[in-house]
Structure formats: C-alpha cells, structure tokens
C-alpha cells in the first residue's frame, strides 16, 4: 500500500502510531513501514510528492478493530478527522467510520470480523 504525502514526515509519524509499525527504511522518495515478523498485515509505503496531490483516491485502508469508538477517539488524538459514520447493521451489514489522516487520505475504521 502506498500513500502519497506532501508532508511525508507527518504522514510517517501518523501511520506509525496508528498501525504500530516501525519505520524500517528510507529510500527517497519512500519511507517503508512494516509490521513485526510473522504479522500478516501489509507493508505501507509513504511516498513524498511535491504536491499538490491530484483529486481522487484509488486505495484506502480498512482498519478492523474490536472497539470502533475507542479507536476513532485514539486516531482523532493523533490528528485524524472523522468524515462520516455509516451504520448498516439493521440490514445485516456493519457499522464503520470514514476518517481522514492529517494529509487528507481517507480510511475506514470498522468492527473486526470473526
């Protein structure tokens, strides 16, 4: 997963804290964040761009957690903003919150799946 960012250092700091990933290496224009060995989650690359970032976003993360409200609160404290919350549990779906990181990149926080 690659995330374009004008403020790459700010994006790295946010995603390190949000995901609990260490920064493994820097190879400009990329900073590579990876989970611990044996953790099956994907690596995240932050790509420094000169900006502005074009409109539209082709990829986003879905963060699956046990406590959505607590995670949303934690991410807001790290600089994320809530864009909207959807609740489709009455139709057999799920509830999730769409957020934006400090760079404006959208991602979702949803309940963990069994």
The total of structural domains in the chain comes to: 2
Residues 73 and 113 occupy one common structural domain = yes
Distance CA 40, CA 62 (A): 15
Residues 45 and 64 occupy one common structural domain = no
The pLDDT tens digits for 15-54 are 999 999 999 999 889 999 999 999 999 999 998 988 776 6
Does residue 89 have a pLDDT over 90?
Answer: no
Residues 101 and 68 occupy one common structural domain = yes
Domain CATH code at residue 66 = 3.10.180.10
Residues 39 and 64 occupy one common structural domain = no
Residues 64 and 40 occupy one common structural domain = no
| Domain span at 65 | 60-114
The pLDDT tens digits for 51-65 are 776 666 766 888 999
Contact indicator for 15, 23 with CB cutoff of 8 Å: no
Give residue 107's pLDDT band: very low, low, confident or very high (50, 70, 90): very high
Token output for 87: 């609740």
Residues 113 and 78 occupy one common structural domain = yes
């Amino acid at each position: 997963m690659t995330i374009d960012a004008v403020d790459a250092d700010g994006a790295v700091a946010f995603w390190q804290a949000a995901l609990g990933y260490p920064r493994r290496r820097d190879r400009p224009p990329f900073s590579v964040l990876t989970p611990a060995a044996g953790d099956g989650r994907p690596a995240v690359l932050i790509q420094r761009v000169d900006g502005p970032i074009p409109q539209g976003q082709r990829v986003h993360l879905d963060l699956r957690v046990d406590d959505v409200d607590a995670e949303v609160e934690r991410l807001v404290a790290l600089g994320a903003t809530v864009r909207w919350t959807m609740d489709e549990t009455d139709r057999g779906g799920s509830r999730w919150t769409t957020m934006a990181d400090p760079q404006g990149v959208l991602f979702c926080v949803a309940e963990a799946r069994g």
